[in-house]
Chains A and B, each alone.
Chain A
């Protein structure tokens, strides 16, 4: 009998995914809007439903330190954070990749201070954009759950052995009750083999971790990390394919929606694509040739898959959820302009920044963006368009 969806808060669905993956260690500090995930995990551990060590640390810096240590000791390790918590964790976030410690972290995306704001945008994840983590973006509740299971599989693969973040939009996704299918624990166990660490702290075979590199070897150590991260894309795709076969839900590194014959492609990440699909349906009904390319795998950036997804489009309207202070564009647009510059069919690229600090992103916003992207000369504007700002 096919599994029936149940109504579940997305945060709880992520925690249930961690239970299904039989994590060994959860080290976390509560912060809005991530709290429900670790709160539920602490309940699961206390109730004996998850046989794990729950470490209630005194800060996020300690949370990631504990996670790196526990992954190095060979434990399947999970944490979750948001915004200022990720900022406080930053030092250790940068250390996990080169140490090849496959920590899995849910980042429930929330705006960075100041001013203090607990609502959703992507400024927190962009602060660790360059750290060497694999970064996935979820669109809906089922995807948040599935990507959590996939994250462990990808992270712990010995060809990868890197930390993975699952990005979940704060409140607009994390706090919604959505229909989700919880896989059986046996199905997950068959998909996710026991953790066999590539790098392990073992008293029988001691090693030193966290070393100093002099100028003679730092460059090589950083290159080695980047090589592994770039190479992980093949493993991500392999895991997506196997997941699809076993669970019937297909995932791609870049998802497209109604891009056939689309002259304008809206590019975005995360849950706003749900609203954008409705807006695209309405615009298509009016004869507008518009589609969506949604980036699910943000790091490593799927260059070839992205180019294939937008092939044929005359213009790309890149939608960002973070303002890069002092730069001409938002982070996603900067990246895409850079990689499309040498493309033969170089499309016209414009950038729109929306939904900062939890401001609503509506169907009307996507219609405005589609219209603006078609204005002659739109792509030579010197700067992003901060949609809806009251000046």
Chain B
């Protein structure tokens, strides 16, 4: 049974209709569901953007023409590995998270 101090919201404090401010998903850091993280070998990366396009959660950010790579936001990356699977140069390795 959870302790009362663990309560994030009590029944009486819930907004009617269980609504929230728009964009509140940003506060919900789903990255901690991850068991493995994508690690990019930038030497082999050709800046094709497949990881950016295929990522089901849209966590990749285009670092621009100067840097020429896409960076995953690990606050939200769930570690599904789709980017590593689709990368044509196989330059993304899924590395197990240390517990």
Report A's interface with B, CB cutoff 8 A.
98-101, 161, 198-199, 206-209, 211-213, 216-217, 220-221, 223-224, 227
Chain A at the B interface: SS class: loop
Which residues on A sit within 8 Å (CB–CB) of B16? 100, 161, 198-199
Name the residue in A208, A221, A223 with the highest tally of chain B Cβ atoms < 10 Å from its Cβ: A208
Q: What CA separation (Å) do A211 and B14 show in the bound complex?
A: 12
Q: How far is the CB of B72 from chain A (nearest CB, A)?
A: 22
Q: Judge whether A211 and B18 touch: CB under 8 Å.
A: yes
> Which one of B5-13, B40-48, B50-58, B80-88 is at the A interface?
B5-13
Q: What CA separation (Å) do A98 and B11 show in the bound complex?
A: 13
Q: Judge whether B19 and A207 touch: CB under 8 Å.
A: yes
Q: Judge whether A224 and B14 touch: CB under 8 Å.
A: yes
Residue of A nearest to B14 (CB): A224
Query: In the complex, how many residues of chain B place their beta carbon closer than 8 angstroms to a beta carbon of chain A?
Result: 19
B25-82 residues at the A interface, CB under 8 angstroms: 25, 28
Which residues on B sit within 8 Å (CB–CB) of A99? 17-18
Q: Judge whether A98 and B22 touch: CB under 8 Å.
A: no
Is B99 in contact with chain A by the CB < 8 A criterion? Answer: no
Which residues on B sit within 8 Å (CB–CB) of A224? 11, 14, 18
Which residues on A sit within 8 Å (CB–CB) of B21? 207-208
Count: A-B pairs, CB below 8 Å: 54
Q: Judge whether B20 and A211 touch: CB under 8 Å.
A: yes
Name the residue in B6, B17, B25 with the highest tally of chain A Cβ atoms < 10 Å from its Cβ: B17
Residue of B nearest to A218 (CB): B18
Q: Judge whether B22 and A206 touch: CB under 8 Å.
A: yes
Q: What CA separation (Å) do A78 and B48 show in the bound complex?
A: 51
Q: What CA separation (Å) do A99 and B16 show in the bound complex?
A: 8
Q: Judge whether A220 and B9 touch: CB under 8 Å.
A: yes
Residue of B nearest to A101 (CB): B17
What are 6 A-B contacts with C-beta separation under 8 Å?
Answer: A198-B17, A199-B16, A199-B17, A209-B19, A217-B8, A220-B7
Name the residue in A207, A213, A223 with the highest tally of chain B Cβ atoms < 10 Å from its Cβ: A207
Which residues on B sit within 8 Å (CB–CB) of A220? 7, 9-11, 14
Residue of B nearest to A223 (CB): B11
Report B's interface with A, CB cutoff 8 A.
2, 6-11, 14, 16-25, 28
Q: Judge whether A208 and B17 touch: CB under 8 Å.
A: no
Q: What CA separation (Å) do A213 and B18 show in the bound complex?
A: 9
Q: Judge whether B19 and A98 touch: CB under 8 Å.
A: no
Which residues on A sit within 8 Å (CB–CB) of B9? 216-217, 220
Q: Judge whether A100 and B17 touch: CB under 8 Å.
A: yes
Which residues on B sit within 8 Å (CB–CB) of A221? 14, 18
Residue of A nearest to B8 (CB): A216
Q: What CA separation (Å) do A243 and B99 show in the bound complex?
A: 64
Q: Judge whether A207 and B22 touch: CB under 8 Å.
A: yes
Q: Judge whether B11 and A208 touch: CB under 8 Å.
A: no
Residue of B nearest to A207 (CB): B19
Counting from the closest, the 4 A-B pairs by CB-CB distance are: A199-B17, A100-B17, A207-B19, A206-B22
Q: Judge whether B18 and A98 touch: CB under 8 Å.
A: yes
Residue of B nearest to A99 (CB): B17
Q: Judge whether A208 and B14 touch: CB under 8 Å.
A: no
Q: How far is the CB of A134 from chain B (nearest CB, A)?
A: 16
Q: What CA separation (Å) do A207 and B15 show in the bound complex?
A: 11
Which residues on A sit within 8 Å (CB–CB) of B11? 220, 223-224, 227
Which residues on B sit within 8 Å (CB–CB) of A207? 19-22
Q: How far is the CB of B54 from chain A (nearest CB, A)?
A: 23
Which residues on B sit within 8 Å (CB–CB) of A213? 18
